[in-house]
């Protein structure tokens, strides 16, 4: 014990100095052993803890252990291989290749990203970059497909991704560290150091990641993917104030910096190099108080505050003629949720109020009459968006095998008034091995600040894009159903279908709103309509805890009813499969396969389909420590920069080798 | 279990499962049949005549016509204007020319925008825009510029110059030469004509550089000054080159794009491949005979609409309308759209088309 304490003290001290040296032991406990997936507890679907297999709303879960088996270091990589989910950064090349998620054919502001139930801000072109969310303090990622606005409000049209952190289970000091090296001079260090007493606990989380950029054209200065440096430092604390009251707090700083590079061929002059440095800092503070009111009643008070600062530059090489764009966003929220269990009925009633502030400015150094002059314009005049929402949900166990879930949410926004969204779900378990679920509900997306107040001035070329303060929220109807069967001998199969109808999609109207002095003004309007339909079947088989095989197929059909064509970049067919096997000499092998078919981009233009194979092998090397090595995208499929709209991965084959260590070590 | 799967699959069975582009095919009845309504428009020797397309009929707007939404089209000599942009405050505009058969079919193809009327002249299409990089590539067209009995050929060579290690836009490079019946004079070149006008965010009263092609004199004028001074032929302001004639200024200068017929077929890749050297022969081959082609229309700056330079059949021996159709948007509501064809000119002269006969019908009506 004495030895353990001194070691943990060293670990704790190191972690406080360097994120690389941090360590952790978290819930769920890290183990290479198979886990009973049906026993996973999920919260995102109903805001109440449920076993995933019997949950009224289907929730897919990726635990941190599973994410690491996939070679993932961030949330994007963790859930990229999930059936029904697309994460193809190249599809968003126009906004810097963020790892945005697509669920049920919907993406960007139409999928809600949460951290412990709190909406994440700091989007890039409407998309939250999931690769900026490291796994250091993540216990699991829950994915719910379909409209969930009745519980979570804006953006929950296509689905919700909830990144859930945990708390230490081991009494006393504990820790975890992961150190990994990759090609392209990639280095990943993640860790946690934790302490748990009888009433209080605390963890220190750290993450460091760096990699070289990727160039797809030989001898060109252009980088298809910039070099990147990420850091994360976080502190989580919690404890029991008394027998009935618990508190949890989380403070986190995520830093993301990249160094992109491009070139510009200027007519008559030649090629100019432009460096594209980018820096994002996001700070979050999240406080939660949980009060057990007795007799199945509880109260949850959550206070959230986020700040996101983003700076992008166009730094002309060896020239003072530069551009700097700065974006600032803050989100303050207060949410109260009460849960009442009343026999077969469980009520969830909540209120949320939030205030979001955004601004964006562009500073240009220009040559005017031969001298450099700097000017700053506000592209997004500081705007404040506020809302108050109330929601209620009744989970009614009509029979032992049949549960009805009915809920709704009403929101009042400062900008555009009110919106109300209902939802109804049914879950039926005719036998212990079969679950049938169906749901229908509405979703909505509030107009983004950019769409309300943006000013993109290209007057020199005859046009401007202006925000429209009169926008209404986009709304949708969505329905889904799924059937799952789980045998006692480790076989599980699920089939599901869904459909969404979205109205009032916000887009730039290609008809000028006004023309003055030869300059056309374009603006955002609620002009679009779209539909998405799909089906999915997936299954898994576990043999004696030493072999697990998974496979899934997803079909997606989309229609942009405004332009009478499919939505862009939505692959209609996706196949994923995975195999995990415990081999002799305590080796664990994981292999994953993903096939994505070609997708519509424009009339006569499709992005090519592609296949990827990932593989990883791991082995315990001493108590609590495991060594691993693997390859991502073993086939080396890569984007062709000369092919218009190619959405294949920018990164080619990635090789990695690493080490994880847990303290205290789990018994073998 | 089977029933559950079937029930779950119903939404999919209800939808088409292909990725077709465009409207789904229909087996419904064809729309109503109509050849449209005919209107005869006598275009006066001076002034404008205004037309409303709803009936259709000739109308006389009350007060300032540019502020009225009672008219959709206006005819003035060989110009046709729509009630939009620089011509009027209406919600009008037009798109075309479209194939003549479009009028008979009654359905215009999906169009990205309606063309609003805007000021411009012979140089309005001297560049091609590269949207992905926000760059302007000069087309290297050769322009004729005429001032009284003097005339020049002008070629724009570039729009960018390097300053402080960076490319700066609106710094023009041009070459020009006087053309007379005796031959072509010496080629002159300038590489630093300042059209920046203080940058994109500068106010309107920042001056830009103007050029007298005869003397080579360079002067700085604000747009307001340029409208009242005669010491220039061409003014360079940001992405525009104006001519000192008609709406452009008081000197009576006219100009023509000698390669205008190529513009429609010039892809960005074609334009980007051109260089000063590769386009020198284009400049060199223009002489007195080329500038004397009677089919050329020499004009000062004026208002352009979707009809300008397209509604006249240039190949016809006598003035005649082009066999094309146009989609015109109602100035009053900005929503109603009409298809329109011109059938004939009666009594056309060099100054005007005389009586113009046109047919018009609301979009969506089929002609049998």
Q: Tell me what pLDDT residue B212 has.
A: 98
Residue ranges of A 429-458 with Cβ closer than 8 A to chain B: 434, 436, 438, 457-458
B9/A269 Cβ within 8 A: no
Contact B119 A518 (CB under 8 A): yes
A315, closest residue in chain B (CA to CA): B166
Output the pLDDT for position B367.
Answer: 57
- Looking at the fold, whether B272 and B218 belong to one and the same domain comes out as yes
Q: Using the beta-carbon criterion (under 8 Å), do B201 and A557 form an inter-chain contact? A: no
User: Quick check: B118 and A518 CB within 8 A?
Assistant: yes
Q: Do residue B124 and residue B84 come from a single domain?
A: no
Report chain A residues whose CB lies below 8 A from the CB of B240.
518
Q: Is residue A667 scored above 60 in pLDDT?
A: no
Mean pLDDT of all residues belonging to chain A: 88
Is a pLDDT exceeding 80 seen at residue A10?
no
Query: CA nearest A366 in B: which residue?
Result: B199
- Same domain for B203 and B269, yes or no, is yes
* Percentages (nearest 5) of helix, strand, coil residues in chain A: 10, 60, 30
Q: Judged by CB atoms within 8 Å, which residues 165-204 of A form the interface with B?
A: none
Residue B15 pLDDT level (bands cut at 50, 70, 90): very low
Same domain, B43 and B70: yes
Per-residue pLDDT, averaged over A385-389, amounts to 93
Tell me which chain A residues have a C-beta less than 8 angstroms from the C-beta of B112: 510
Higher-confidence residue: A370 or A32? A370
Q: Is the pLDDT of residue A459 over 80?
A: no
- Kindly list the distances between the CA atom of residue A108 and the CA atoms of A72, A91, A113, A558, A564, in Å, as whole numbers in the listed order: 22, 11, 10, 16, 21
User: The domain that contains A323 carries what CATH number?
Assistant: 2.40.170.20
CB A313 within 8 A of CB A319: no
Q: What pLDDT, on the 0 to 100 scale, is given for residue B18?
A: 56
What is the SS3 assignment for A351? strand
Q: What is the DSSP string of A282-305?
A: EEEEEEEEEEEEETTEEEEEEEEE
Q: Flag the least confident range among A43-47, A347-351, A434-438, A578-582.
A: A43-47
Cross-chain Cβ contact B157/A268 below 8 Å = yes
User: Which of A16-30, B51-65, B256-270 has the least mean pLDDT?
Assistant: A16-30
A-chain residues near B20 (CB < 8 A): 565
Tell me the mean pLDDT in the region A425-442. Answer: 94
**Average pLDDT of span A601-612:** 92
Q: Are residues B150 and B274 in the same domain?
A: yes
Provide mean pLDDT across the span A472-498. Answer: 94
Over residues B86-125, the pLDDT tens digits come to 899 898 999 988 988 889 888 877 666 788 888 889 999 9
Residue A517 has pLDDT above 90, yes or no: no
Nearest-CB residue to A497 (from B11, B20, B129): B11
User: Which of A268, A321, A434 comes nearest B158 by C-beta?
Assistant: A268
B136 interaction partners in chain A (CB closer than 8 Å): 267, 461
Contacts of A534 in chain B (CB under 8 A): 12
Residues 59-88 of B with CB under 8 A from A: 84-86
User: Could you give the number of structural domains in chain A?
Assistant: 1
Q: Do B8 and A495 touch (CB under 8 A)?
A: yes
Mean pLDDT of A390-405: 94
Distance (Å) from the alpha carbon of B199 to chain A's nearest alpha carbon:
6
| Residue A402 with chain B: CB contacts under 8 Å | none
Do the domain assignments include residue A503?
Answer: yes
Is some CB atom of chain B closer than 8 A to the CB atom of A642? no
- pLDDT given at position A1: 38
| Contact yes or no for A498 and B238 at CB 8 A | no
pLDDT of B27 higher than 80: no
State both tokens at A648: 């294949």
pLDDT, tens only, B137-185: 999 999 999 999 999 999 999 999 998 899 989 999 999 999 999 999 9
Within-domain flag for B2: no
Q: What pLDDT does A541 receive?
A: 95
Q: Give the tens place of pLDDT for each residue, B282-328.
A: 999 999 999 999 889 899 999 999 998 789 887 788 889 999 999 99
- Examine the fold and report which residue of B291, B315, B343 is the final residue of a domain before the chain moves on: B291
Q: Does A510 contact chain B (CB < 8 Å)?
A: yes
Averaged pLDDT, A612-628? 95
Helices then strands, counting H and E runs in chain B, come out as 7, 23
- Entry field: residues in chain B: 368
Domain holding A585, by residue range, is: 2-663
Identify whether residues B275 and B316 lie together within a single domain. Answer: no
B218/B265 same-domain check: yes
- Point out the residue among B19, B84, B198 whose CB comes nearest to the CB of A566: B19
B276 touches chain A (CB under 8 A): yes
Give the residue from chain A lying closest to B135, CA to CA.
A266
Q: Does B247 touch chain A (CB under 8 A)?
A: no
Domain stops at, among B291, B321, B350: B291
- Together in a domain, B176 and B268: yes
Is B202 near chain A, with CB under 8 Å?
yes
Nearest in space to B360 (alpha carbons), one of B89, B93, B154, B73: B73
Residue whose C-alpha is closest to residue B248's, from B196, B207, B299: B299
> Which chain A residues have a beta carbon less than 8 Å from that of B84?
515
For A188-228, what is each residue's pLDDT tens digit? 999 999 999 999 999 999 999 999 999 998 888 899 999 99
Cβ B12–A321 below 8 Å, yes or no? Answer: no
Kindly indicate the confidence band of residue A563, based on its pLDDT and cuts at 50, 70 and 90: confident
Which of A396, A398, A416 is CA-nearest to residue A407?
A396
Closest listed residue to residue B263, CA positions, set B160, B129, B92: B129
Does B203 lie at the interface with A, CB-CB under 8 angstroms? no
Out of A434, A438, A535, whose CB is closest to B12?
A: A535
- Residue B100 shares a structural domain with residue B246: no
For B337-354, write each residue's pLDDT tens digit. Answer: 999 999 999 999 888 899
Contact B84, B114 (CB under 8 A): yes
Closest CA to B154 of B116, B117, B123, B198: B123
What distance in Å separates the CA atoms of residue A586 and residue A625, rounded to the nearest whole number? Answer: 13
Within-domain flag for A668: no
**Res. A518 pLDDT band, cuts 50 70 90:** low
Over residues A121-178, the pLDDT tens digits come to 998 888 999 999 999 899 999 999 999 999 999 999 999 999 999 889 889 999 999 9
- Does residue B10 lie within any of the structural domains? no
Distance CA A399, CA A605 (A): 53
pLDDT of residue B107: 81
A460: pLDDT strictly greater than 80: no
Among A17-21, A173-177, A242-246, A601-605, the range scoring the smallest mean pLDDT is A17-21
Do B215 and B315 reside in the same domain of the chain? no
Closest-CA residue of chain A to B7 = A481
Q: pLDDT tens, B181-228?
A: 999 999 999 999 999 888 766 788 899 999 999 999 999 999 999 999
Note whether B240 and B320 are same-domain residues: no
Does B326 reach chain A within 8 Å, measured CB to CB? no
- Size of chain A in residues: 668
Taking CA atoms, what residue in B is nearest to A267?
A: B137
**Structural domain count, chain B:** 2
Residue A481 has a pLDDT of: 95
What tokens were used for A220? 């060109």
Q: How many residue pairs bridge chain A and chain B with CB atoms within 8 Å of each other?
A: 148
pLDDT classification of A514: cutoffs 50, 70, 90: low
Whether residue A320 lies within 8 A of chain B, CB to CB, comes out as: yes
Are β-strands A118-119 and B218-221 bridged in parallel, bridged antiparallel, or unpaired?
Answer: unpaired
Alpha-carbon Rg for chain B in angstroms? 25
Q: How far is A413 from chain B (nearest CA, A)?
A: 31
Q: Which of A276, A204, A199 is nearest to A243 (CA)?
A: A199
The first and second tokens of residue A97, run together, are 């290749």
The pLDDT score that the predictor gives to residue A181 is 97
Nearest by CB to A565, from B21, B136, B173: name it. Answer: B21
Contact flag A518-B21 (C-beta cutoff 8 Å): no
Q: Which residues 6+ apart lie within 8 Å of A72 measured at CB?
A: A78, A80, A135
Tell me whether residue A584 is in a domain: yes
To the nearest whole Å, the CA of B176 is away from the closest chain A CA by 18
Is residue B26 in some structural domain?
no
Chain B residue with minimum CA distance to A521: B85
- Report yes or no on B8 lying in a domain: no
pLDDT at B86: 86
In terms of Cα–Cα distance, which of B345, B335, B338, B332 is closest to B360?
A: B338
Q: Is A368 on the interface with B (CB under 8 A)?
A: yes
Domain hosting residue B107, numbered range: 37-117+305-362
Q: Are residues B188 and B318 in the same domain?
A: no
- pLDDT for A11: 34
Average pLDDT score over residue span A635-641: 93
Between A519 and A568, the more confident residue is: A568
Q: Which of A268, A260, A340, A262 is nearest to A299 (CA)?
A: A340
Q: Do B113 and A268 touch (CB under 8 A)?
A: no
């Amino acid at each position: 014990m004495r030895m353990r304490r001194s070691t943990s003290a060293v670990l704790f001290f190191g972690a406080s100095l360097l994120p690389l040296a941090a360590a952790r032991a978290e819930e769920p406990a890290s183990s290479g052993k198979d886990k009973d997936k049906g026993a996973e507890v999920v919260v995102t679907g109903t805001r109440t803890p449920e076993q995933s297999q019997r949950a009224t709303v289907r929730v897919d879960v990726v635990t941190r252990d599973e994410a690491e088996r996939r070679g993932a270091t961030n949330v994007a990589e963790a859930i990229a291989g999930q059936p029904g989910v697309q994460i193809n950064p190249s599809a968003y090349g126009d906004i810097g290749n963020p790892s945005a998620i697509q669920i049920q054919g919907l993406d960007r502001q139409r999928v809600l990203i949460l951290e412990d139930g709190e909406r994440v801000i700091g989007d890039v072109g409407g998309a939250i970059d999931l690769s900026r969310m490291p796994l250091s303090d993540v216990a699991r990622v829950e994915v719910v497909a379909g409209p969930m606005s009745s519980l979570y409000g804006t953006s929950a049209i296509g689905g919700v991704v909830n990144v859930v952190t945990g708390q230490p289970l081991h009494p006393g000091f504990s820790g975890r560290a992961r150190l990994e090296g990759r090609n392209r001079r990639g280095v990943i260090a993640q860790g946690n150091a934790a302490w748990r007493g009888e009433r209080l606990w605390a963890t220190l989380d750290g993450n460091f990641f760096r990699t070289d950029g990727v160039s797809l054209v030989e001898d060109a200065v252009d980088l298809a993917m910039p070099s990147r440096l990420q850091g994360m430092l976080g502190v989580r604390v919690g404890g029991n104030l008394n027998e009935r009251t618990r508190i949890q707090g989380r403070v986190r700083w995520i830093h993301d910096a990249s160094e992109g590079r491009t070139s510009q061929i200027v007519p008559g002059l030649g090629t100019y190099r432009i460096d594209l440095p980018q820096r994002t800092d996001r700070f979050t503070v999240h406080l939660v108080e949980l009060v057990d009111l007795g007799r199945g009643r509880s109260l949850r008070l959550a206070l959230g505050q986020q700040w996101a600062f983003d700076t992008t530059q166009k730094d002309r090489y060896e020239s003072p003629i530069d551009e700097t764009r700065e974006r600032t966003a803050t989100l303050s929220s207060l949410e109260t949720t009460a849960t009442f269990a009343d026999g077969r009925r469980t009520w969830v009633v909540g209120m949320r109020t939030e205030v979001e502030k955004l601004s964006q400015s562009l500073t240009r150094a220009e040559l005017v009459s031969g001298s450099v002059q700097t000017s700053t314009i506000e592209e997004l005049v500081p705007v404040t968006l506020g809302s108050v929402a109330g929601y209620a949900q009744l989970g009614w166990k009509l029979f032992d095998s049949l549960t009805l879930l009915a809920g709704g949410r009403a929101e009042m926004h400062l900008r555009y008034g009110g919106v109300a969204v209902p939802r109804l779900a049914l879950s039926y378990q005719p036998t212990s091995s079969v679950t049938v679920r169906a749901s229908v509900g509405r979703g909505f997306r509030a107009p983004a600040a950019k769409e309300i107040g943006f000013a993109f001035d290209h007057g020199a070329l005859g046009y401007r894009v202006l925000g429209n303060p009169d926008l209404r929220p986009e709304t949708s109807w969505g329905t889904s159903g799924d059937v799952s069967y789980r045998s006692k001998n480790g076989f599980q199969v699920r089939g599901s279908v869904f459909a969404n109808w979205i109205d009032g999609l916000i887009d730039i109207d290609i008809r000028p709103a006004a023309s003055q002095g030869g300059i056309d003004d374009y603006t955002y309007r609620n002009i679009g309509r779209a539909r998405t339909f799909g089906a999915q079947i997936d299954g898994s088989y576990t043999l004696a805890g030493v072999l697990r095989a998974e496979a899934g197929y997803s079909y997606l059909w989309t229609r942009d009813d405004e332009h009478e064509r499919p939505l862009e970049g939505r692959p209609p067919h996706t196949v994923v499969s995975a195999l995990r096997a415990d081999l002799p000499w305590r080796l664990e092998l994981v292999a994953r396969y993903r096939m994505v078919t070609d997708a519509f981009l424009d009339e006569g233009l499709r992005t090519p389909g592609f296949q990827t194979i990932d593989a990883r092998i791991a082995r315990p090397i001493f108590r609590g420590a495991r060594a691993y090595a693997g390859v991502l995208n073993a086939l080396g499929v890569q984007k062709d920069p000369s092919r218009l709209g190619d959405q294949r991965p920018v990164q080619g084959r990635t090789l990695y080798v690493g080490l994880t260590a847990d303290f205290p070590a789990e018994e073998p | 279990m089977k029933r559950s799967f079937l029930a779950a699959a119903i939404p999919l069975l209800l939808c088409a499962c292909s990725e077709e582009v465009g409207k789904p095919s229909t087996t419904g009845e064809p729309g109503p049949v109509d050849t449209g309504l005919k209107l005869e428009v006598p275009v006066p020797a001076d002034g404008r005549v205004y037309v409303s397309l709803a009936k259709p009929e000739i109308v006389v707007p009350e007060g300032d016509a540019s502020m009225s939404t009672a008219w959709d089209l206006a005819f003035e000599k060989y110009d046709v204007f729509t009630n939009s942009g620089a011509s009027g405050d209406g919600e009008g505009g037009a798109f075309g020319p479209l194939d003549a058969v479009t009028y008979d079919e009654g359905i215009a193809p999906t169009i990205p925008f309606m063309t609003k009327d805007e000021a411009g002249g012979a140089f309005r299409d001297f560049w091609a825009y590269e949207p992905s990089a926000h760059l302007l590539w000069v087309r290297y067209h050769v322009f004729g510029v005429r001032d009284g009995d003097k005339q020049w050929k002008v070629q724009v060579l570039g729009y960018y110059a390097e300053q402080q290690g960076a490319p700066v836009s609106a710094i023009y490079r041009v070459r020009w030469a006087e053309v007379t019946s005796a031959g072509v004079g010496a080629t002159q070149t300038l590489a630093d004509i300042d059209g920046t006008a203080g940058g994109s965010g500068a106010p309107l009263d920042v001056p830009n550089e103007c050029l007298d092609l005869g003397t080579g004199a360079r002067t700085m004028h604000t747009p307001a000054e340029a409208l009242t001074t005669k010491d220039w032929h061409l003014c360079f302001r940001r992405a525009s080159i104006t001519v000192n004639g008609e709406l452009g200024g008081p000197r009576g200068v006219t100009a023509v794009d000698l390669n205008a017929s190529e513009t429609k077929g010039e892809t960005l890749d074609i334009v980007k491949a051109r260089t000063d050297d590769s386009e020198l022969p284009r400049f060199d081959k223009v002489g007195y005979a080329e500038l004397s082609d009677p089919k050329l229309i020499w004009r000062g700056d004026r208002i352009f609409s979707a009809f300008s330079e397209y509604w006249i059949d240039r190949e016809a021996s006598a003035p005649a309308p082009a066999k094309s159709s146009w989609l015109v948007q109602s100035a009053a509501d900005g929503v109603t759209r009409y298809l329109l064809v011109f059938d004939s000119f009666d009594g056309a002269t060099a100054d005007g088309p005389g009586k113009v006969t046109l047919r018009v019908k609301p979009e969506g009506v089929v002609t049998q």
